Amino acid sequence: MRYARESRNAYVLILPALLIVAMFTLYPTIYASILSLYDCLPGKACVFVGFSKYMQLFSSGLFWHSLKVTLIFVFASVSAQIIIGTLIALLIYYLPKGSNILKTLLIIPWALPGVISAAMWRTILDYDYGLINGVLRALNVCSPDEGIKWLLDPNLALLSLILIDIWRLSPFVALLVLAGLVAIPKSYIDAAEIDGASTIQKFIHIMLPFLKPIYKSIFIIRSIFAFQALDIVFVTTKGGPGTATYLLPYYMYNEAFAFLDFGGGAALAVILALLIVITICIFYYIVFRTLVRTP
């Protein structure tokens, strides 16, 4: 009886938080799902068209190209961030002297708003006045009239966006992995060192199993935000050159706010949400359960 009363009181206490979460997540999701079934244009009444918006997208070559570009961006950036972030965390872990300074420096790229980071890198990668091309010309790697078209070459634009995203969010991964490393009992590490285990062996057999929950969280968080990378595309390339960096979030933005096709934009939003859920499920149940096992 007492347990039931305490449980009821607990639900009452968390009810306001649940209502707020539902207001900002559940309602927009339902509204977007319903809106995707209508053809809504400014100044005109919405007309129910069923799944025609989805059929138009699935029959569009631009959609499949955008999907391919988005998957490349997400998998490349998230994978590289996990690897680089882990290496940075291990470096700080094994070099405790001055680690506080490194931690402070790590926060800077992550703490900068995405729009500011993208604007900064747009200037650095500029073909005519960018810092990188200026250094290459000063070193005679490129002639004074030439340079690398980082954001103007279709073969380099997507790679440039991936590198910007890696620079911006690898520190976030490093700080989370470092927190996991610090939480590992020191006795386990000491026992492995006494047994003569190498650094790689200690990481694989001791550290990695402890870091499994953190890697799961990192992958889920980073995948969600990587699939929503609108700011970096909007500021640097606007989907160009051509459609080389036409990621799904930018495609969705254009449909809804440039072409004012709110139904098409809502359909893309629903597809993007489902894509995020499917991707996370695949990696959670296949990759992590087969490659990283807790003893």
Q: Cα 225 vs. chain centroid, distance in angstroms?
A: 4
- The two three-digit tokens of residue 42, written as one number: 């400014």
| Site of tokens 């506080």 | 100
The DSSP secondary structure of the chain, one letter per residue, reads -HHHHHHHHHHHHHHHHHHHHIIIIIHHHHHHHHHTTEE--TTS--EE-TTHHHHHHHT-HHHHHHHHHHHHHHHHHHHHHHHHHHHHHHHHHH--TTHHHHHHHHHHHHHS-HHHHHHHHHHHT-TTT-HHHHHHHHTTSS-TT----TTTSHHHHHHHHHHHHHHHHHHHHHHHHHHHHHHS-HHHHHHHHHTT--HHHHIIIIIHHHHHHHHHHHHHHHHHHHTT--HHHHHHTTT-STTTT--HHHHHHIIIIIS--HHHHHHHHHHHHHHHHHHHHHIIIIIHHHHS---
Task: Tell me the pLDDT of the chain (295 aa) as tens digits.
Answer: 555 666 677 778 888 888 888 788 888 889 999 999 999 888 788 899 999 999 999 999 999 999 999 999 999 999 999 999 999 998 888 876 666 777 778 788 888 899 999 999 999 999 988 999 999 888 888 877 788 999 999 999 999 999 999 999 999 999 999 999 989 888 888 888 888 888 888 888 889 888 988 988 898 889 999 999 999 999 999 998 999 999 999 999 999 999 999 999 999 999 999 999 898 888 777 665 655 454 4
The span from the first CA to the last CA of the chain, in angstroms, equals: 40
Rg (CA), the chain: 24
Which residues lie below 8 Å from residue 180, measured CB to CB, with a gap of 6+?
210, 211, 214
CA dihedral for 121, 123, 124, 128, sign (positive or negative): positive
**Of 250, 283, 273, nearest to 32 (Cα)?**
273
- The whole-number pLDDT of residue 294 equals 47
Distance CA 208, CA 294 (A): 8
- The whole-number pLDDT of residue 193 equals 82
Q: Is the pTM of this model over 0.85?
A: yes
Q: Cα 36 vs. chain centroid, distance in angstroms?
A: 25
Q: Which fold has domain 61-291?
A: MetI-like fold (1.10.3720)
